[in-house]
Chain A
Amino acid sequence: MTQTQSAPPPSVAAAPPQGAAGQAPNARSAGPRGAVAQWFEGTPGRMRAFLILAAAMSVVFGLAAAQGFSQSDGSLERAQANTAQLVRIQAIHTNLVSANADATNAFLVGGLEPPEQRAHFVNSMAAAAGLIADAASAQPADREVLGALNKTLITYEGLIEQARANNRQGLPIGSQYLKDANSVLQDDSLPLVKALVEANEKRVDAEFDGISKGTIWILVGGLLSLVVFVITLRWLARRTHRYLNLPIAAGAALVLLTTVIGGVSLASASGAAKDTRNSEYERTLALSRARIAAYDARSNESLTLIARGSGDAFDKAYNTAAAEVDNQLGKSSGTTDGLQQAWAEYKQVHSKVREADSSGNWDGAVVMAVGGEKAGTNDSAQTFAAFDASSSQQLTASSDAVAGDLTDARDGLPPIGWLGIPIGFVAALLVAWGMSQRLEEYR
């Protein structure tokens, strides 16, 4: 190979003798290093350098395009998975507070629990247990906390069953077991659930942010390669006095096309994801939070009544929780008007319950709070159930919409994730082809 350099170029007459004259002593004195240097010496040497640079840049572009696409695609997929996990954790939370609301409310009626309320409690706990197993297999990073949560729930259910057994025998110690169970849930279980919610919200946020980063990869990679291609073409045009090297220009066009298509499709996918994040995802979060706060309020309504006159702390907790429901429903207003109406109806009954209790009519307040035949049509159990049913329906719809939107965004992406590297190689081969045409002339 080194011999070719001394051959006189057929087209450019002036340059080679200079190069050849300067090269010869170097090649002799510098050994193998000198051979490499010699290889890059003179015009053909520069050509080789440009060839390597442009080909390498093409491959790098291919890698960057592939990386950008797989990153965006991966972020979309993970955003979807993490959103699903978040919805799952919030469903666990909802089921737990809902079960606890049943348990505390049942205490107001004594040992004779309404069968449907008991069934609702059992179903909620069973649903929570199933969701915990699902959540642990879906996100290994959550496994430890979910395990700890399971342990607290075993304690909680044990205490609830003891409370139930004692209540059924008419023993006052049942109420103490119930209080203990409630404090296990509030002090041990729910902080774990809250930690899970926070961690998963952060993960969803990080992935949503990651979707647009894929665009940067493909744009930066594309622009850098195009710059290299343009410099190469310009240099070639000047040096060889030919306007256009077709294969290299085709490589540049391929890079440009890939950059434009890739950039546009990634930008639109990340735009779609952003829309989802600001609309359906926000709505899902708001609805979940509203439901959790609502159950919390309902539990506190019962606890205030159980405390019989010394339940100021629970009444305050009710007010905080109820304000949170209003706040969260307000965030998703326009789409949840029916819910706000249902919640307002419950709040109205609640204020009647409080009114009865604080005017000394505890029994009347309890009848309204537990519902049943004696309560007539407008009791807090019924109005709450109405809110529960319609909010649950809306939550399912909006979390399905998040999953659907993100799947659509992924499906809309062109297959550059796995085509990127082949495209880079094709561009590199085009460069090599185009450059070797010129190099041939130096043989």
Chain B
Amino acid sequence: MKKLIPIAATTALLLTACSTGNYAATQIPTKPSPSAAAPPTPTEPKACTDGKDPLASYVPPATLPKPEEPVTGYLKTIRDRKRLIAGVSADSLHLGARNPITGQIEGFDIDMVKAVATAIFGTWEGHLELRVISSPQRIPSLQNGSVDIVARNMTINCERWDQIAFSAEYYRSGQKTLVPLNAKETSVKQLSGKTICAPAGSTSLTNLIKENPAVKPITADSDTGCLVLFQQGKAYGISGDDTVLAGDAAQDPYAKVLTAERFSEEPYGLGIKKGNVDFVKFVNGVLAQMKSSGAWMESYNAWLMPDLGKLTTPPPAVYGRTQ
């Protein structure tokens, strides 16, 4: 009994020692590690399922309906809504970029949809809603009908013709490579083992791997995302359309584009929901007018000429699809 009491007392004291303010250290939460996206396996461009030339679009009508004339079909849907909804980029300088001073989105792509809106309503002002979409969102947003038209440096190809419809070609771009200003390399073939960035889900990524499978591809959500990785030293170079790279190089004086090498052809088209053939025809009519009136050349000279050089003629339109 005599021995038990002090033992009991010490145990009791020890038991309560748990609340003396010595807390277990707060744990750093474990982060789910981002799963590395597997690079796409390059596939040969397949022929269109309808056997047509991918560049071929629908023939425009001889005359376009004037803003005050009654229209039918999808054009009527747009006119009843009183505005055209276009999916664009807000961060590709000179193509579609938000001017931080004015807050307006402007560029070569934007001029195309402005022309379409002007043709529908007489003026684009107050009748054009620009929705900023990312590169992987282009096809889904057309398919779910959240935008009427996509003007976001989109390459026409057969794979996409299966999902959406394209206007006639409005610009012929090609893939080039952006590297640091002091880089010795002159071709993407010399960039084996280097980390090169391309936007996820873009044709640029597929083409890059096809051109040099030995590069380490890294992806970002947008072209500008690639430029950030480049500036942070996480990517050695960027692979992309010459139009986009020109905009990137304009924002970073320590970057240069390997202009001599152009390893793919990227014909740009305006994306429209599959089935809205009457609207595609209308848009083709607008593009044809722009090319013939000189409005196209004026826009090119304003946005792209300083970086990409003079052009004598706009790319010719190819038609050949009927329904």
Q: Which residues of A contact B (CB under 8 A)?
A: 49, 52-53, 56-57, 60, 63-64, 67, 71, 74-75, 78, 81, 108-112, 139, 141-145, 148, 166-167, 170-177, 180, 187-188, 191-192, 194-196, 199-200, 203, 206-207, 210, 213, 217, 307-310, 360, 362-363, 366
Interface contact B129-A176, CB-CB below 8 Å: no
Interface contact A172-B98, CB-CB below 8 Å: yes
Q: What would 14 A/B residue contacts be, using CB atoms closer than 8 Å?
A: A56-B2, A71-B19, A74-B19, A141-B23, A141-B25, A145-B27, A170-B99, A172-B93, A172-B100, A173-B228, A192-B29, A199-B23, A308-B132, A309-B132
In this assembly, does B90 line the interface, its C-beta being within 8 Å of a C-beta of chain A? yes
Partner among A172, A192, A194 whose Cβ is within 8 Å of the Cβ of B97: A172
Q: 4 more A-B contacts (CB under 8 A) besides A56-B6, A111-B101, A196-B26?
A: A172-B247, A210-B19, A310-B132, A366-B103
Number of interface residues of B (CB under 8 A): 54
Q: In the complex the two chains form, what is the Cα distance from A403 to B58 in whole Å?
A: 75
In this assembly, does B172 line the interface, its C-beta being within 8 Å of a C-beta of chain A? no
Interface contact B141-A111, CB-CB below 8 Å: no
Which residues of chain B are near A199, meaning CB under 8 Å?
23, 26-27
Distance in angstroms from B67 CB to nearest chain A CB is 18
Interface contact B19-A206, CB-CB below 8 Å: yes
Decide: A308 near B130, CB < 8 A? Known: A141-B23, A195-B28.
yes
Interface centre among A167, A176, A188 (most CB of B within 10 A): A176
In this assembly, does B213 line the interface, its C-beta being within 8 Å of a C-beta of chain A? no
Decide: A180 near B26, CB < 8 A? Known: A57-B5, A172-B97, A360-B83.
no
Nearest A-chain residue to B100, judged by Cβ: A110
Decide: A64 near B131, CB < 8 A? Known: A52-B2, A194-B29, A206-B19.
no
Interface contact A171-B93, CB-CB below 8 Å: yes
Distance in angstroms from A367 CB to nearest chain B CB is 10
Interface contact A176-B100, CB-CB below 8 Å: no
Interface contact B132-A307, CB-CB below 8 Å: yes
Which residues of chain B are near A310, meaning CB under 8 Å?
87, 131-134, 137, 141, 146
Which residues of chain A are near B132, meaning CB under 8 Å?
307-310
Q: In the complex the two chains form, what is the Cα distance from A174 to B222 in whole Å?
A: 13
Decide: A175 near B21, CB < 8 A? Known: A63-B13, A111-B101.
no
Q: In the complex the two chains form, what is the Cα distance from A21 to B139 in whole Å?
A: 110
Interface contact A60-B5, CB-CB below 8 Å: yes
Distance in angstroms from A195 CB to nearest chain B CB is 5
In this assembly, does B174 line the interface, its C-beta being within 8 Å of a C-beta of chain A? no
Distance in angstroms from B55 CB to nearest chain A CB is 29
Decide: A195 near B29, CB < 8 A? Known: A63-B9, A172-B98.
yes
Interface contact A203-B23, CB-CB below 8 Å: yes
In this assembly, does B284 line the interface, its C-beta being within 8 Å of a C-beta of chain A? no
In this assembly, does B24 line the interface, its C-beta being within 8 Å of a C-beta of chain A? yes
Which residues of chain B are near A210, meaning CB under 8 Å?
19
Interface contact B103-A141, CB-CB below 8 Å: no
Interface contact A56-B5, CB-CB below 8 Å: yes
Which residues of chain A are near B83, meaning CB under 8 Å?
360
Partner among B25, B26, B103 whose Cβ is within 8 Å of the Cβ of A110: B103
Q: Which of B99-141 contact A (CB under 8 A)?
A: 99-103, 105, 129-134, 137, 141
Distance in angstroms from A67 CB to nearest chain B CB is 6
In this assembly, does B31 line the interface, its C-beta being within 8 Å of a C-beta of chain A? yes
Interface contact B26-A363, CB-CB below 8 Å: no
Interface contact A110-B101, CB-CB below 8 Å: yes
Q: In the complex the two chains form, what is the Cα distance from A213 to B12 in whole Å?
A: 13
Interface contact A145-B90, CB-CB below 8 Å: no
Which residues of chain A are near B1, meaning CB under 8 Å?
49, 53
Interface contact A170-B90, CB-CB below 8 Å: no
Interface contact B19-A145, CB-CB below 8 Å: no
In this assembly, does B227 line the interface, its C-beta being within 8 Å of a C-beta of chain A? yes
